[in-house]
Amino acid sequence: MRALPWCVRMPCSHALHPQTLLERCQPFHLITPADGTEARLCKGGLVPVEITVKKVQGRKWMTYVKNLELFGIQAEEFRALATKKFACSCSLQEVPGSRNHFVLIQGNLASSVMDFLVTGMGMKQHFVAQKG
């Protein structure tokens, strides 16, 4: 006969139910890069890659791609790939208060960047969020 878990066996009122215990736990996520490098365990909830399009002036648009480093994608490598793939100007900017960078791509390329991340870089679509 199998023994019951300690939370079920304890008759006192301060025993923790397994669901209550899980609710009190801190969130973690595991990043496994597609290139076969070692997986990383990271504290906190998973923030998706954010693609934002903003109008700069007149008819000019800029596409901002943030949070690439959280998924093991180096921003400098992505900038070089995006420059060749989309035949446009790309640059890097530092995120204020962080060591991470975001990539600025000239033009309204949100859907193209999303397709490139999903098909070309091997990311799942629910880890890429498009805004604006």
Collect all residues with Cβ–Cβ distance below 8 Å to 27 and sequence separation of at least 6.
43, 44, 45
> How many C-beta atoms surround the C-beta of residue 132 within 10 A?
13
Collect all residues with Cβ–Cβ distance below 8 Å to 15 and sequence separation of at least 6.
6, 7
Q: What is the mean pLDDT of the chain?
A: 84
Are 123 and 49 in contact by the 8 Å Cβ rule? The answer is: yes
Q: What is the pLDDT of residues 51-109, one digit of tens each?
A: 999 999 899 999 999 999 888 888 999 999 999 999 999 999 998 888 888 999 999 99
Q: Which helix (H) or strand (E) holds 121?
A: none
Q: What is the pLDDT of residues 104-131, one digit of tens each?
A: 999 999 999 999 999 988 888 999 999 8
Task: Say whether 49 sits in a helix, a strand or coil.
Answer: strand
Closest CA relative to residue 85, chosen from 51, 120, 58, 132: 120
Mean pLDDT of 18-45: 79
pLDDT at 11: 53
Residue with the bigger pLDDT between 23 and 86: it is 86
Q: Which helix (H) or strand (E) holds 107?
A: none
